[in-house]
Amino acid sequence: MNFMRMCAIALAGTAACGFLAGCTEADSRTAPITSERPPMLQTRDALTIESVAARAGELGDSIPARVAFRPQALASVSVPVQARVVTVHVSPGDVVSEDAPLMTLKGAEVAATRAALAQAAARSVAADDMLARQTEMLKRGVGLEVERFGAEIAAREAVAELDRAQRAADQLGDGPNDQFTLRAPTSGVVTEVRARIGAMASPDGEALVDIGNPDKLFVIADVAEHELAAITVGQPAKVAIRSIGAIYDAVVERVGRTVDADQRRVPIYIGLNGTTGPLSPGMLVDVRLQADATAQLSLPVEAVLIKNGDRYIVYVENEDGVLQPRSITIGASRNGRVAVTDGLRSGEKVVVKGALLLDSSSEQLL
């Protein structure tokens, strides 16, 4: 009896196992087969993570720049009175000396100015004669002090008027009747001539001739706003002239204060040590700022994200393998890399490629 009960139990167990096995096989046939991985793991596969290392002399690559006149090296020549251009004596590129003729002009105001000078001179002579006569009459006892005093006042006024007329005529210089010659106020190179024969010129119009001193030049380079922290006045530099392959020692003289709203760049002004050499205004050159000799941390520019327009962040992998955003301070960027001045330590692991996948609301540093 016990034997029969044990056989029944064994058969029931076998049937139950068969039923469960059948269910499992059916479920396996109906369940979808997928090889997809969690989204975070897929994103991580697209990332490149590297340890931060210090690199020396990496940020000293060249910056495109241009040569320009210093502000004090430019002279703009205008007319003192309204007149018409008769002759143009110079062309752009001409080398002129101080007081060299630039243009000849003529006009009614020129004749009026010279006539006013002649009249003022005649009145001054007449006033002096009247003062001398009144003084002599007073000495003889036949004149009055009040008349002599009036003559003295008139003589002083005549002298003042003569001085004013003389100054106006001096602005015109020499010339016959209604003509005068416009002359160079300084020596240099004619950079632009804006008048043509027959054109009218006026004191409130634009300058007719621009003259620049070729010995007073500097180099202007536009650098990114975030690079200013690595640039200081007095910083050594090299200026390379592309056209002739020459290199000159230079120094940063001034850092601009105005940021270009569109390009987010700031001009820096660089002077050559000693002579300006073969530099000419408008010439394109390359500037190489002397980088810090000490090693500094740097990252590929694509590793840095811009958050809210004014905050720089990178993603750092902690000891547990978790990627966390961290704010950093950056310096100059050259050749696809940017210096990190604060926020990271050497040896830390940073996402150097694909960081934008972790934060789509940020912008990538270019």
Residues 294, 328: Cα–Cα separation, whole Å: 20
pLDDT tops 70 at residue 8: no
- What is the SS3 assignment for 69? strand
pLDDT tops 80 at residue 65: yes
Residues 7, 194: Cα–Cα separation, whole Å: 120
Summarised one tens digit per residue, pLDDT across range 162-201 is 999 999 888 888 788 889 999 999 999 999 999 899 999 9
pLDDT tops 60 at residue 239: yes
Burial 126-164 (b: 16+ CB within 10 A, else e): ebeebbeebeeebeeeebeeeebeebeebbeebeebbee
Q: What pLDDT, on the 0 to 100 scale, is given for residue 141?
A: 87
Q: Which residues does 308 contact at the CB level (< 8 Å), separation at least 6?
A: none
| 357 Rama sector, left if φ>0, alpha if ψ -120 to 50, beta otherwise | alpha
DSSP sequence for 16-34: HHHHHHHHHHHHHHHSPP-
Residues 315, 365: Cα–Cα separation, whole Å: 14
Summarised one tens digit per residue, pLDDT across range 304-342 is 999 887 889 999 999 888 999 999 988 777 667 888 888
Q: What pLDDT, on the 0 to 100 scale, is given for residue 294?
A: 52
Whole-angstrom Cα Rg for the chain = 43
Q: What pLDDT, on the 0 to 100 scale, is given for residue 20?
A: 42
pLDDT tops 60 at residue 58: no
Q: What pLDDT, on the 0 to 100 scale, is given for residue 103?
A: 94
Query: Do 75-107+178-212 and 48-56+294-364 have the same topology in CATH?
Result: no
**Pick from 329, 307, 361, 150: nearest CA to 230:** 329
Domain 75-107+178-212 sits in CATH at 2.40.50.100
Summarised one tens digit per residue, pLDDT across range 127-155 is 999 999 999 998 988 889 999 999 999 99
Structure token digits, residue 114: 């010279």
Contact 237, 250 (CB under 8 A): yes
Q: What pLDDT, on the 0 to 100 scale, is given for residue 38?
A: 46
Contact 36, 258 (CB under 8 A): no
Residues 62, 285: Cα–Cα separation, whole Å: 9
Residue type, 70: R
The CATH number of domain 48-56+294-364, selected from 2.40.420.20, 3.40.50.150, 3.30.70.2610, 3.30.70.20: 2.40.420.20
Average pLDDT, the chain: 82
**Pick from 257, 261, 214: nearest CA to 233:** 257
Residue type, 253: E
Summarised one tens digit per residue, pLDDT across range 282-298 is 889 999 887 655 557 88
Domain 62-70+216-289 sits in CATH at 2.40.30.170
Adjacent-strand bridge partners of 69:
217
Q: What pLDDT, on the 0 to 100 scale, is given for residue 184?
A: 93
Mean pLDDT comparison of 44-58, 98-112, 272-286, highest-scoring range: 98-112
Q: What pLDDT, on the 0 to 100 scale, is given for residue 59?
A: 46
- What is the SS3 assignment for 78? coil
Summarised one tens digit per residue, pLDDT across range 103-130 is 999 999 888 988 999 999 999 999 999 9
- Type and span of the H or E element at 301: none
Summarised one tens digit per residue, pLDDT across range 199-237 is 999 999 999 999 999 888 999 999 888 777 778 899 888
Strand 188-193 and strand 95-96: the pairing is antiparallel
Q: What pLDDT, on the 0 to 100 scale, is given for residue 102?
A: 94
Q: What pLDDT, on the 0 to 100 scale, is given for residue 330?
A: 86
Residues 190, 95: Cα–Cα separation, whole Å: 6
pLDDT tops 60 at residue 21: no
The pLDDT > 90 percentage for the chain reads: 41
pLDDT tops 70 at residue 96: yes
Q: What pLDDT, on the 0 to 100 scale, is given for residue 133?
A: 93
Q: What separation in angstroms does the CA of 134 have from each of 137, 143, 147, 148, 160?
A: 5, 7, 7, 5, 20
Contact 234, 252 (CB under 8 A): yes
Burial 21-49 (b: 16+ CB within 10 A, else e): eeeeeeeeeeeeeeeeeeeeeeebeebeb
pLDDT band at 87 (very low <50, low <70, confident <90, very high): very high
In the chain, where the domains are located: 48-56+294-364, 62-70+216-289, 75-107+178-212, 109-171
CA angle 41, 46, 49 (to 5 degrees): 95
